[in-house]
Amino acid sequence: MPDQHDVTVGQLLLAEYQTLKDEQKTRIGFRDNLLYVTLTVVAAVIAATAQAKRPDMLLALPPVCVVLGWTYLVNDEKISAIGRHIRHDLGPKLAQLARAEHAFTWETVHRSDSRRRQRKVIQCGIDLLAFCVVPLAGLTVYWAAGENSAGLLTLSLVEALTVIGLASQVVVYTRPFGPTAP
């Protein structure tokens, strides 16, 4: 007979599940707030640029949007990784221990609706707009203003390539055309 202070495998798995769900919830809140931070920073840079009538100030948009966009993307991937771990590792282990067919069915069910792919494509578009299109538009305005020094022009080209690199990662991480259910 196990001592009442002994910890079972099931208790450990449930504790891991709760810890992962707490981390996932925290990451979701942080990730979602990054969009609001990005919008605020973009508005501030555009307002300052318009007020100062200095198009070169738009060169602040790409690094800010890339850093925030990459942070958003990394958090989104960790959120997905937690879900995969629960679906493919924790859930099956707990179901086996409980002699049940499934555990944590919501982790799979919410991914299987008919509009999931559409939502992922739309979210990809929003992410690209917020983190990539806006800074590229800022660069386009800077280039069109024609007040380009050689150094700032070089910097702007490097920024454009960095934003394009982020855009490719946003699309790759989105996986909008992959399977909708495991």
Contact 112, 180 (CB under 8 A): yes
Q: What are phi and psi of 28, to 5 degrees?
A: -65, -45
What span, in angstroms and rounded, lies between the C-alpha atoms of 122 and 124? 5
pLDDT at 176: 57
pLDDT at 180: 45
pLDDT at 2: 57
pLDDT at 168: 97
pTM: 0.87
What span, in angstroms and rounded, lies between the C-alpha atoms of 131 and 31? 13
Tokens representing residue 181 in the block? 């259910």
Burial class (CB in 10 A: 0-12, 13-18, 19+), 95: middle
What span, in angstroms and rounded, lies between the C-alpha atoms of 27 and 67? 16
Q: Give ∠ CA 26-69-35 in degrees, rounded to 5.
A: 60
Closest Cα to residue 44, out of 113, 115, 112, 134? 134
CA–CA distances in Å: residue 20 to residues 17, 32, 37, 85: 5, 18, 25, 9
Task: Give the mean pLDDT per block of 10 residues along the chain (182 residues).
Answer: 74 94 97 96 98 97 98 96 94 91 85 87 95 98 92 97 98 69 44
pLDDT at 105: 84
Q: Which sign does the torsion angle of CA 69, 75, 79, 84 carry? A: positive
pLDDT at 1: 54
Instruction: Provide the residue count of the chain.
Output: 182
Tokens representing residue 59 in the block? 């060169």
Run of H or E including 76: helix 61-85
